[in-house]
Amino acid sequence: MARVLVLNGPNLGRLGVREPEVYGSESHADLAAAVEIWAKELDLEVEVRQTDDESTLVGWLHEAVDARAHVVLNPAAFTHYSYALRDSAAQVTTAGLVLVEVHLSNPYARETFRHVSVIGPVASGTVAGFGALGYRLALEVVAARP
Ligand code: DQA
């Protein structure tokens, strides 16, 4: 069974409270519960984690490489400027693992600083603008892998 780490970055622990008009009314726990149901349906072993800390995220990406786990990553604000996270994400994809960059909102329809992703170029692909459904689509990409 393929293993997937679903990693959520800074402020995503505030889902439901934080700008609900942008991110919806579901909490991070609601999102994690939905991801776990979807993973079961798709026959994937999933673990959902959230941190506000850049070095913790970097460590989790190293762990994914070492454990041969695919990654669904919402890097949140780190998307736009963290070269450290980019370098860690690149290690996942160059190891032959899938890394799907996910955003709940569509950053390209928002402020200009959100139009740049330093993660996108080293990801397998990006899903943005579909809310929690983006995580389901990302898991489907992993499940469809030969
Ligand atoms: C986000 C978009 C980012 O620009 C923002 O900093 C976030 C969440 C999203 O899921 O839409 O924290 O990654």
Full set of structural domains in the chain with CATH: 2-144 (3.40.50.9100)
pLDDT for position 19: 93
Q: Which atom of ligand 1 is nearest to the CA of 12?
A: 12
Average pLDDT over residues 69-74: 98
pLDDT of 11 reads 98
Radius of gyration from C-alpha coordinates of the chain = 14
Q: In the predicted model, is pLDDT for residue 146 greater than 80?
A: no
Share of the chain above pLDDT 90, in %: 99
Q: Which of 11, 52, 105 to mutate to test the pocket of ligand 1 (most atoms within 8 A of CB)?
A: 105
C-beta 31 within 6 A of ligand 1: no
Structure confidence at residue 111 (pLDDT): 96
Place of tokens 């996108």: 120
In this model, does residue 105 exceed pLDDT 80?
yes
Q: How high is the pLDDT of residue 114?
A: 98
Task: Describe the chain by its helix, strand, coil percentages, rounded to 5.
Answer: 50, 20, 30
| Share above pLDDT 70 across residues of the chain, in percent, rounded to a whole number | 100
Residues 11-23 pLDDT 10s: 999 999 999 999 9
Q: How many CB atoms lie within 10 A of CB 103?
A: 22
Helix (H) or strand (E) holding 8: strand 3-8
Contact 89, 122 (CB under 8 A): yes
